[in-house]
Amino acid sequence: MAAVIPLLETESLGKRFGGLAAVNGVSLRVAEGEIRAVIGPNGAGKTTLVGMICGRLEPTSGRVRYGGRDITALRPWERLRQGIVYTFQVTSVFRGLSCYENVALPAQRRLMRGLAGRLALRESAIAERVQAALEAVGIADLAAQRADALAYGHQRLLELAMALATEPRILILDEPTQGLAEGEIERLCGLVRDIARRATVLLIEHNMPVVLALAGRVTVMDSGEIIAEGSPAEIERDPAVQRAYLGR
């Protein structure tokens, strides 16, 4: 039996802030092509964990492996170029710029090869990619609007468009449905399923119906550690999870 290397693997990853261990010895394995949900109560360490995966935070212990390679020392922008893309829990778009400009910045990255590519690019090449990303999330008609003039739900979609424009291999979504209305959540789920055909998805969520609908496997965290892992149905039934999180 051939062992398949997981796309993303953390090995006893930990982060201490002073005396507090926000993440403690987390070993996570995500296979290519799956949709993995990470759930847990507030303060469980989910955002800290993915922060270390995408490079925003430096771990105090442990390693991160990607496609078999140790990437613990890789800087955030280098990880992005490897295809590890993170969307923020609190939207972090470029508020003063138009939607087009917001998506153009990530979209142009792959086109910037060599000196010539950095000095001047055909804007039409970038515009194509921007258009594709905006259409994929359904806000192509808002391209000229300023990001801070958008409704909250549309800003979330803009974040997603920016992530798509980078051609991710693994897309990390940090509470993407937070603050969205019912219809918007449904549309987002459809989008995620679409994206999952081309990329691996790591999803932090509080919304249990979304998790049950989308995720292939679920990892449950509490107080910085993994307390359970399994299919959504298994997790729902797990007594430890019920105690820690679902409050039954």
Partner 1 sequence: MSARAPLKVLALHAAVLALLFAAQFALPPYHHTNVARIMVLAAYAIGYNVLLGYTGLMSLGHAMFFAAGMYGAGLPVYYLGVGAAGALGAGLAAGVVLAALFGLLALRTTGVAFLIVSLMFAQAFYLASLYFNEVTLGDQGFILSQRLAPLQAGGATLGFHEPAVKYNGALLLFAACLLVSLALRASPIGRVLIGIRENEERTRLLGYDSFRYKLLSLTISGGLAAAAGAMYALLFSYVGSTFASILFSIYPLLWTLLGGVGTTLGPLLGTGLMFYLVDLASGVTSAYLLAVGVALVLLVLWFPLGILGTVRARWLPWLP
Rule CB under 8 A: which residues touch partner 1? 54-56, 75-77, 80-81, 86, 88, 92-98, 100-101, 104-106, 108-109, 111-112, 117-121, 123-124, 127, 144, 162, 166
CA distance 192 to 241: 25
Residues 25 and 13: beta-carbon distance below 8 Å: yes
Q: How far lies 181's CA from each of 135, 149, 170, in Å? A: 20, 18, 26
CB-based contacts of 51, cutoff 8 Å, min separation 6 = 57
Q: Which is nearer to partner 1, 29 or 56 (CB)?
A: 56
Q: Which is nearer to partner 1, 158 or 228 (CB)?
A: 158
Query: C-beta of 215: minimal distance to partner 1 in Å?
Result: 24
Query: C-beta of 128: minimal distance to partner 1 in Å?
Result: 11
Q: Which is nearer to partner 1, 24 or 87 (CB)?
A: 87
Query: C-beta of 88: minimal distance to partner 1 in Å?
Result: 8
The dihedral region occupied by 175, where left means phi > 0, alpha psi between -120 and 50, and beta the remainder, is left
Query: C-beta of 61: minimal distance to partner 1 in Å?
Result: 23
Q: Which is nearer to partner 1, 105 or 208 (CB)?
A: 105
Query: C-beta of 242: minimal distance to partner 1 in Å?
Result: 35
CB-based contacts of 232, cutoff 8 Å, min separation 6 = 37, 211, 212, 215, 217, 218
CA distance 199 to 221: 24
Q: Which is nearer to partner 1, 67 or 216 (CB)?
A: 67
